């Protein structure tokens, strides 16, 4: 925490100004909150939560994945890419120039999910694979019980299970898994569509949160932005009393 505090007011070499702007979030410098009684509440059953009580909004795995080792790896990849470009030996990969609008670094966290069409095949892939594994484990565990409870011989019971039960509970998920795997890994142009833009952004340098609204984007080509300091995003607590 001490190192983070020192960096928060570190001067840059170019302009000798603080890196973080005045509105950057500081837990020891949160403005006085307006009275909840004067706030425009959405209903009588809502109350304004106090500023500064920040909570975890996303899984820590998102930040744990960005380890120094992985960051150095991608830095080396970028360095090798520039060297190949300089030598004229670089071959661009598919969709390399597509802007995904995502950003996660020391300054900002920008979230831009893929459109539903692109997510659909990924969801189907995970669903087919997960269903196959679950049903396979369940059938392997219940197969001996069914054989022991059946009045027929174990050979006849096993043949019936293999021809009547297994194709339904294993064949269908396996087919879904196979088709979605082929589409996702071998036909990216069929399913991949880049996001139209980010949904929201957290900026540590400015201390601002930006929410992007695309309701008028298709007709008017306008992207509305709702911007407010980070400490104001406390949300309202809705109660039943």
For the stretch 161-181, pLDDT in tens is 999 999 999 999 999 999 999
- In whole angstroms, what is the distance from residue 71 CA to residue 84 CA? 20
In the chain, % of residues over pLDDT 90: 32
Q: Are residues 183 and 120 in the same domain?
A: yes
**Residue 208 falls inside a structural domain:** yes
Contact 135, 215 (CB under 8 A): no
Contact 173, 185 (CB under 8 A): no
pLDDT at 167: 93
Structural domain for 224, as ranges: 196-240
**Parallel, antiparallel, or unpaired: how do β-strands 200-203 and 208-213 relate?**
antiparallel
Q: Are residues 178 and 220 in the same domain?
A: no
Q: Given a cut of 80, is residue 145 above it in pLDDT? A: yes
**Residue 171 falls inside a structural domain:** yes
**Residue 200 falls inside a structural domain:** yes
Question: Residues 64-107: pLDDT tens digits?
Answer: 667 788 888 888 998 998 999 899 888 888 888 888 888 877 78
**Residue 202 falls inside a structural domain:** yes
Q: Are residues 160 and 185 in the same domain?
A: yes
Domain count, the chain: 2
Q: Are residues 161 and 203 in the same domain?
A: no
- In whole angstroms, what is the distance from residue 42 CA to residue 50 CA? 16
Q: Are residues 214 and 185 in the same domain?
A: no
Q: Are residues 127 and 171 in the same domain?
A: yes
Q: Are residues 203 and 180 in the same domain?
A: no
Q: CA torsion sign, 120 to 125 to 126 to 132?
A: positive
**Residue 99 falls inside a structural domain:** no
Q: Are residues 178 and 213 in the same domain?
A: no
Q: Are residues 146 and 207 in the same domain?
A: no
Does pTM top 0.75 for this prediction?
A: no
**Residue 181 falls inside a structural domain:** yes
């Amino acid at each position: 925490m001490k190192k983070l505090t020192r960096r928060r007011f570190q001067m840059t070499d170019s302009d000798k100004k603080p890196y973080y702007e005045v509105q950057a979030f500081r837990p020891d410098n949160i403005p006085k909150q307006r009275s909840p009684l004067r706030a425009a509440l959405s209903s009588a059953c809502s109350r304004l939560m106090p500023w500064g009580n920040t909570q975890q909004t996303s899984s820590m795995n998102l930040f744990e994945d960005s380890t120094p080792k992985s960051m150095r790896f991608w830095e080396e990849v970028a360095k090798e890419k520039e060297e190949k470009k300089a030598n004229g030996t670089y071959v661009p990969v598919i969709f390399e120039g597509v802007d995904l609008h995502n950003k996660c670094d020391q300054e900002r966290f920008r979230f831009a999910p893929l459109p539903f069409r692109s997510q659909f095949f990924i969801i189907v892939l995970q669903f087919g694979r997960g269903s196959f594994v679950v049903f396979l484990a369940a059938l392997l565990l219940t197969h001996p019980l069914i054989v022991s409870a059946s009045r027929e011989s174990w050979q006849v019971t096993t043949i019936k299970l293999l021809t009547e039960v297994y194709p339904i509970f294993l064949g269908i998920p396996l087919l879904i898994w196979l088709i979605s795997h082929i589409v996702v890994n071998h036909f990216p142009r069929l399913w991949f569509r880049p996001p139209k833009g980010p949904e929201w952004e957290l900026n540590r340098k400015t201390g601002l949160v930006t929410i992007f609204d695309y309701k008028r984007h298709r007709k008017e080509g306008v992207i509305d932005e709702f911007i407010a300091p980070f400490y104001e995003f406390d949300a309202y607590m809705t109660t039943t009393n």
